[in-house]
Structure 1
Amino acid sequence: MRSILFAVTLATAPIAALAETPCGGAFSSFVNDLKAEAVADGISSETADRFFAGVRQDPAVLRADRKQGVFQIPFVDFSRRLISNDRIARGRANGRAYDAIFDRIEATYGVSRGVLLAFWAFETDYGSFQGDFNTADALVTLSHDCRRPELFRPQVFAALELFAKGEFDPRRTTGAWAGEIGMVQMLPRDILENGVDGDGDGKVSLKTSAPDALMSGGKMLKSLGWRAGEPWIAEVDVPADFDWSLTGLETTKPTSEWRALGVSPRNGPLAGGLEASLLIPQGRKGPAFIAYPNFRVYFDWNQSFTYVMTAAYFATRLEGAKVYDAGNPDTGLDGDQMKALQTKLQAAGYDVGDIDGILGARSRAAVRAEQARLGMAVDGWPTPELLGKL
């Protein structure tokens, strides 16, 4: 799952970065340039030759990269698709099976077990399917492709470093189409920086060792800023007459202020002493969540708002939270309608990124601005009514 959603990570990358990263041209010449750069950076020519020998351009990787339909699914539908009773049961069973490992992760990195269990479930269905794309081919193919070379080119050299250490086989290592490897889908650079030998066998084996994968994931989350012992998200009830313009990640308030505004938790008390945001992924009539600082770390793992909301919520379910109240959200827009809305917003001067039918952060911000201008409830949820008024 991460590889599908990973494709949007550099959506907000500076244009200069795109222009400065070599890409395109004859594939063989591109590979030769990669080898020359590796040697210039201190890799032996023999090692570089062995790593790149047989590397090929993979059209299936490019086809997978162009598929974006999953991003158009709203939170309620997306979360129901990914979270099943079976996945919850297997997640809790894995929590018991690896109880000692999760205790170590919580003690060492401060990451709660539900968080890693949710990633493990969504990324590879608890390790059962880790992807069958050749990783070296995928990374070089996406580096050669000029859509986001600045994202993938550094990962090629990270994989080469792993190869030089005897920890990567360029012809046999497989994973997701975007180059992630192992049970929690980590990129080569992540593995270099955060790989942990969790089972004590002297190796970091993210594909075959759950302790290694989980400990590595915990270390990575800590390196991204995870705050030990703090929550990440919790479902809340919000008064019907609430000022919806206060919702969204752009606004943070102490939990005491949210309580004073009538926001009340559905699963235990609001955490005291923390800043938080109020999130309504499908508008004021849908589910509502309070998001704490740790929630923002999720976006360093993945840039999709819907995925992040679902993974964070699933983590709370695995730790005993109730099923969220889906409410009765207003009808949203299908993919074509969303593209039409983005086209209108772009024509009005908003930066919505690509016209892709995806309600990303920039599209959501533009929707909120237009809702305010039109005197509508400012909840960031685009509806046919809004489309019609534009």
Structure 2
Amino acid sequence: MPLFCHKSCRNEATVPPRISYAVFCRRLSLALLVSTCALSPALAQTPAAPCGGDVASFLQGVKSEAISLGVPAEAADKALAGAQIDQKVLSRDRAQGVFRQTFLEFSQRTVSQARLDIGRKKLQDLSGVFSRAEKEFGVAPGVIAAFWAMETDFGAVQGDFNTRNALVTLAHDCRRPELFRPQLLALTQMVQHGDLDPQTNTGAWAGEIGQVQMLPKDIIAHGIDGDGDGHVNVKTSAPDAILTAASFIKSLGFRAGEPWIQEVELPENLPWEKSGLGNEIPASEWFKLGVKPRDGKTEFGSLPAALVLPQGRKGPAFLTYPNFAIYLEWNKSFIYTTSAAYFATRLSGAPTYLKGNPEPGLDVDQMKALQAKLDAKSHDVGEIDGILGSGTRRAVQREQQRLGMPADGWPTLALLNAL
């Protein structure tokens, strides 16, 4: 897959690299809120640390801080000895790309038949591990396997940046030291536990590690020794990676035994203005309006559900349930999250979605023109960048409704011309 932009990322169309820096943003944002469960209590209370300046002095400061938080001096020395600033990390951080694929384009590329075949074999070969994950954490095997596939192709592509150097570089850089320095300190704990070799461990350029691309603080908080070797090695041990991911997903609020997304077929006429994330009503109310689950299952009708239309009312359609929230915690990109959730349903036995016949969307220049018009009407679309983000979707839906058009949130040339 191509390199995509991280999701610091006000824009839902901003999608991660395969070695997902987007997950970094989400997890670090989460860590700022719940960091007390990520490391020792002392480390969770660490104040913002200095950045920049002489690298040797910076590293000495990190070492001293790690020691004050309970990391033995020997482990801190081992973790930081020979650390270097990696200019490639800084270049990647400052030159992140974005993609403008539609849901159909992105999902068909990521949820490929080859990945489905491999995923189903992994589920079979590691059935005991996945069963344990579901029993202990309540997370469906398909959910874990889909993230495993989308993040690293089941561990095949984990990144080739030295993890220690990447975190040193980004913690030393003064753009976001409050985000990265705690991750560097957590890395010293991983070294202390014997779970990471700082000289040889590689991963994503933003410091994510392993087969499901987790940050050091998340590994410390949720790491599970799945293979019984006394260590948590999410890079080389599939059982460790699977169970650690399950623990983390549960911490995001996954509810055992409930769906996350369900493909549906739509009647010709619906109150389209009720569609979209944030417009949840009981699923039973959607069923009464003529929305029909393709799998025929209606037993979760009491759960709140949103009708999501990634490419408007004429394209694929889904109901999203409370468990879909964990996807939005994993990655704020609507296209990524919907694709990952759909992937998980495929691995759980669902059929290929109905593509429908979506109306053609807008090219970049047309989208910018639309955003300019929406901005002129006082809609908050953020930067006029030609990307269909959440703010633009909401504005499109409001203008469609005002103009008497089906308010499905999908921007078309007809809407642009009407404005």
Q: TM-score, normalised by structure 2?
A: 0.83
Cα deviation for residue 370 of structure 1 reads: 3.0
Q: What is the distance in 2 between the residues matched to 1:385 and 1:108?
A: 51
State how 1:1-390 maps to structure 2 within 5 Å. 1=18, 3-6=20-23, 9=26, 25-26=52-53, 28=55, 30-43=58-71, 47-65=75-93, 66-70=95-99, 72-270=100-298, 271-390=300-419
Q: What is the distance in 2 between the residues matched to 1:205 and 1:62?
A: 27
Decide whether the 8 Å contact of 2:48 with 2:178 is kept in 1. Answer: yes
Unaligned segments of structure 1, at least 5 residues: 14-19
Decide whether the 8 Å contact of 1:196 with 1:204 is kept in 2. Answer: yes
Cα deviation for residue 196 of structure 1 reads: 0.5
Decide whether the 8 Å contact of 1:10 with 1:148 is kept in 2. Answer: no
User: 169-178 or 4-13, which moves further after superposition?
Assistant: 4-13
Cα deviation for residue 346 of structure 1 reads: 4.2
User: 96-105 or 166-175, which moves further after superposition?
Assistant: 166-175
Cα deviation for residue 82 of structure 1 reads: 0.8
Encode CA deviations 1:211-249: one digit per residue, 9 max, x unaligned: 111111111111111101111111001112111111111
SS of residue matched to 1:69: coil
Give the number of aligned pairs: 383
Q: TM-score, normalised by structure 1?
A: 0.89
Q: What is the distance in 2 between the residues matched to 1:312 and 1:368?
A: 24
Distance 1:341 1:142, change over 3 A: farther
Decide whether the 8 Å contact of 1:122 with 1:311 is kept in 2. Answer: yes
Cα deviation for residue 294 of structure 1 reads: 0.6
Encode CA deviations 1:110-152: one digit per residue, 9 max, x unaligned: 1111111111111111111111111122223333445544433
Encode CA deviations 1:284-303: one digit per residue, 9 max, x unaligned: 11110011111111111222
Cα deviation for residue 173 of structure 1 reads: 1.2
Q: What is the distance in 2 between the residues matched to 1:104 and 1:132?
A: 31
Cα deviation for residue 6 of structure 1 reads: 3.2
Q: What is the distance in 1 between the residues matched to 2:347 and 2:406?
A: 33
Q: What is the distance in 2 between the residues matched to 1:369 and 1:375?
A: 10
Q: What is the distance in 1 between the residues matched to 2:222 and 2:259?
A: 23
User: 147-156 or 81-90, which moves further after superposition?
Assistant: 147-156
Distance 1:143 1:353, change over 3 A: farther
Q: What is the distance in 2 between the residues matched to 1:315 and 1:159?
A: 31
SS of residue matched to 1:105: helix
Q: Which residue in the other structure is 1:16 paired with?
A: none
Q: What is the distance in 1 between the residues matched to 2:210 and 2:307?
A: 34
Distance 1:352 1:205, change over 3 A: same
* Matched AA of 2:402: R
Identity over the aligned pairs, expressed in percent?
52
Distance 1:369 1:24, change over 3 A: farther
Distance 1:38 1:368, change over 3 A: farther
Q: What is the distance in 2 between the residues matched to 1:289 and 1:275?
A: 13
User: 281-290 or 262-271, which moves further after superposition?
Assistant: 262-271
* Matched AA of 1:377: P
Cα deviation for residue 62 of structure 1 reads: 3.4
